[in-house]
Amino acid sequence: MRVGFIGLGNMGGPMALNILKKGHSAVVNDIRREMAEPHLAAGAQWADSPAAVAARAEVVLTSLPGPKEVDAVALGANGILSGIERGAVYADLSTNSPTVIRRIHEAFRQKGVAMLDAPVSGGIPGARNATLAVMVGGDKETFDRVKPVFDAIGDKVSYIGAIGAGAVAKLVHNMVAICSTQLLVEAFTMGMKAGVSADALLKAVSDGAYGQGMILKGALPKMIMRGNFDRVTFALKLARKDLGLATEVGREFNVPMPIAALVEQDFLSALAHGLGDKDSTAAVTVQEDRANVKVRS
């Protein structure tokens, strides 16, 4: 396919090269022309503006820092919308706001151009090795038509749902990753102040149920998403006891543990609602009630 690629930074540069390696032709643009040198050497063509890229492509991809940059490149002066032809496809690979994506989608729809949101995950190594996860939102028929382009940059390409769904899925992923890191460090600082080395803690956590994927591979799909809290593998009252013991150690060694303290309050609320003999995953119902949505398949 004739692919236009705008944004040749740490992620976009390797993705554009992989598109060329898979036999697609490419026309490229970046605010720094020197970033395109490897692509031009590999057979890509240069265009002086996003509009010029779009005018020469069947599929236009952007890989940009965030919503502000995507909005400017898509809708601004000499932007993609001003150059793209009816029947072409625009897909944004950036981590973006679903609200911004839907607004841009509507502007393209009025011109007869389909838009997909297709954020990626896997970091620079994934971009270089074409092993990214690609989370795509938009029209399914359009997704199927341009999937070969996504297959050139990732080996885990998924259709998520309607326009904006890819952006939502990426934000969920990043929120889990970012917050999990803070929780791990919160726990490790407690453990280290209580006298255990970081290496030993890493070994213990890696070897235990959590490190073996208990949450994503077990508890979430098999219990929480099925509302299966009566099949008890770890009683909620015992989990609250263990969490309480951990926060006691934190207090003993003057370790701030705000995340654990917040979760402990949810467990106390679950106990107050008579869920102590249910599986510990039943504590998620406290957040479900706050959000007025059930995490179920």
Are both 2-168 and 169-291 of the same fold?
Answer: no
Q: So where are the chain's domains? A: 2-168, 169-291
CA-CA distance, 297 to 294, in Å (whole number)? 9
| pLDDT recorded at residue 279 | 97
Kindly report the pTM of this predicted structure: 0.94
Condensed to tens digits (0 to 9), the pLDDT of residues 85-125 reads 999 999 999 999 999 999 999 999 999 999 999 999 999 99
Beta bridge partners of 27: 4, 45
For the chain, the distance separating the N- and C-terminal CA atoms, rounded to the nearest angstrom, is: 36
Q: Work out the percent of the chain whose per-residue pLDDT is above 70.
A: 100
In the chain, which residue ranges form alpha helices assigned H by DSSP?
12-21, 37-41, 50-55, 67-75, 80-83, 98-109, 123-129, 140-151, 165-193, 198-207, 236-252, 258-272, 284-291
Pair 280, 243: CB distance under 8 Å: no
| pLDDT recorded at residue 138 | 98
| pLDDT recorded at residue 267 | 98
Confidence band, pLDDT 50/70/90 cuts, at residue 60: very high
Take residue 152 and report the two structure tokens written for it: 């050139």
CA within 13 Å, CB half, 9 = 11
Confidence band, pLDDT 50/70/90 cuts, at residue 14: very high
Pair 240, 267: CB distance under 8 Å: yes
| pLDDT recorded at residue 117 | 98
| CATH class in words for 169-291 | mainly alpha
- Annotated active-site positions, please? 170
Mean pLDDT for the chain?
A: 97
Please give the CATH number for the structural domain made up of 2-168. Answer: 3.40.50.720
Report, as an integer, the average pLDDT of 230-237.
Answer: 96
Q: Work out the percent of the chain whose per-residue pLDDT is above 90.
A: 100
Condensed to tens digits (0 to 9), the pLDDT of residues 245-278 reads 999 999 999 999 999 999 999 999 999 999 999 9
CA-CA distance, 154 to 213, in Å (whole number)? 23
| pLDDT recorded at residue 237 | 98
With b for 16 or more beta-carbon neighbours within 10 A and e for fewer, the 195-233 pattern comes to eeeeeebeeeeeeeeeeeeeeeeebeeebbeebebeeee
Measured from the Cβ of residue 32, the count of other Cβ atoms closer than 10 Å reads 8
Condensed to tens digits (0 to 9), the pLDDT of residues 146-196 reads 999 999 999 999 999 999 999 999 999 999 999 999 999 999 999 999 999
Report, as an integer, the average pLDDT of 131-139.
Answer: 98
